[in-house]
């Protein structure tokens, strides 16, 4: 199959509920996961992991945790993007090492700029990701309200906001993955209908990990798409200001 352009791949992608029994190439799927990791993400923290389910046993168990819904039951392989907010310290370390390597390679050094970049990782990022006591949360919200009276401030700092930040970035990676799959003629179906606790147990993940979605993969069967793609008219959702 000829590789598709981005627009063609976006238009080819559908949520395929019935995959054929034609096997798919794990190496190609893995390459699509590599594309997933190129997605833009919050502060480049890459607080995600991708589980590629290829073994018969794991497939059977994950499918059962997805209630054996058709998109899971008929999938040849499953991909599970996982949000790992709990890995923030390791990710900051990796970013720091990359930053320092970049400084060392630079033709001209700028100690002031370098110190600022390191301080962002050492001081500002932990302030966002560190668990906070009720008093720290209260003080933070009070400061935001106070400062927000006279200037623009960043307000999304609650534990719930942090979960959204992680889910948002990981969902962008999932979309990269699905479009990449479409590019090579493979099909996908994103699913949120599953028992997240069971999936975490099967994958051996800690409580702090969050399942972003489960993506069924394969090659569409003739009856794999349930109907024409319906979208609201663009005028209903597009606003130019």
Ligand X SMILES: Cc1cc2nc3c(=O)[nH]c(=O)nc-3n(C[C@H](O)[C@H](O)[C@H](O)COP(=O)(O)O)c2cc1C
**Contacts with ligand X, residue ranges (CB under 6 A):** 14-15, 17, 69, 71, 189-193, 213, 229
Nearer to ligand X, 192 or 201 (CB): 192
CA distance 82 to 148: 34
Query: At closest approach, how far in Å is the CB of 178 from ligand X?
Result: 9
CA distance 202 to 40: 29
Query: At closest approach, how far in Å is the CB of 7 from ligand X?
Result: 15
Nearer to ligand X, 16 or 209 (CB): 16
Nearer to ligand X, 37 or 175 (CB): 175
Query: At closest approach, how far in Å is the CB of 155 from ligand X?
Result: 25
CB-based closest residue to ligand X: 193
Helices (H), the chain: 6-12, 26-36, 56-65, 70-73, 88-105, 111-119, 125-129, 134-148, 159-183, 196-203, 234-237
Query: At closest approach, how far in Å is the CB of 201 from ligand X?
Result: 19
What secondary structure, in 3-state letters, does 27-60 show? HHHHHHHHHHCCCCCHHHCCCEEEEEECCHHHHH
Q: How far apart are the first and last CA of the chain?
A: 42
Nearer to ligand X, 45 or 211 (CB): 211
128: nearest Cα among 165, 81, 95: 165
Nearer to ligand X, 95 or 173 (CB): 173
Query: At closest approach, how far in Å is the CB of 193 from ligand X?
Result: 3
CB under 8 Å to 48, separation ≥6 — which residues?
37, 41, 81, 82, 83, 84, 166, 169, 170, 173, 212
Nearer to ligand X, 58 or 225 (CB): 225
Query: At closest approach, how far in Å is the CB of 75 from ligand X?
Result: 11
Phi, psi of 154 (to 5 degrees): -85, 125
Query: At closest approach, how far in Å is the CB of 145 from ligand X?
Result: 33
CA distance 72 to 18: 9
C-alpha distances out from residue 194 to 55, 84, 102, 142, Å: 19, 18, 42, 38
Nearer to ligand X, 95 or 217 (CB): 217
């Amino acid at each position: 199959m000829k590789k598709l352009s981005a627009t063609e791949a976006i238009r080819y992608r559908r949520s395929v509920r019935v995959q054929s029994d034609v096997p798919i190439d794990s190496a190609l799927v893995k390459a699509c996961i590599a594309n997933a990791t190129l997605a833009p993400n919050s502060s480049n923290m890459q607080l995600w992991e991708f589980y590629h389910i290829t073994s018969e046993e794991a497939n059977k168990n994950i499918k059962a945790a997805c209630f054996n819904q058709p998109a899971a039951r008929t999938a040849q392989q499953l991909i599970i993007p996982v949000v790992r907010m709990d890995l923030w310290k390791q990710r900051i370390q990796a970013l720091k090492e990359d930053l320092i390597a970049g400084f060392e390679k630079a033709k001209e050094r700028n100690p002031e700029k370098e110190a600022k970049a390191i301080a962002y990782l050492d001081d500002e990022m932990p302030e966002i990701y560190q668990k906070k006591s009720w008093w720290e949360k209260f003080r933070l919200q009070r400061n935001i309200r106070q400062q927000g009276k006279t200037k623009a401030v960043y307000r999304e700092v609650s534990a719930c906001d942090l979960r959204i930040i992680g889910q948002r970035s990981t969902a962008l990676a999932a979309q990269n993955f699905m479009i990449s799959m479409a590019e090579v003629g493979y099909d996908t179906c994103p699913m949120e209908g599953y028992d997240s606790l069971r999936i975490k147990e099967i994958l051996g993940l800690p409580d702090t990990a969050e399942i972003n979605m489960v993506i069924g993969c394969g090659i569409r069967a003739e009856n794999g798409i349930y109907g024409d793609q319906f979208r609201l008219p663009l005028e209903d959702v597009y606003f130019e200001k």
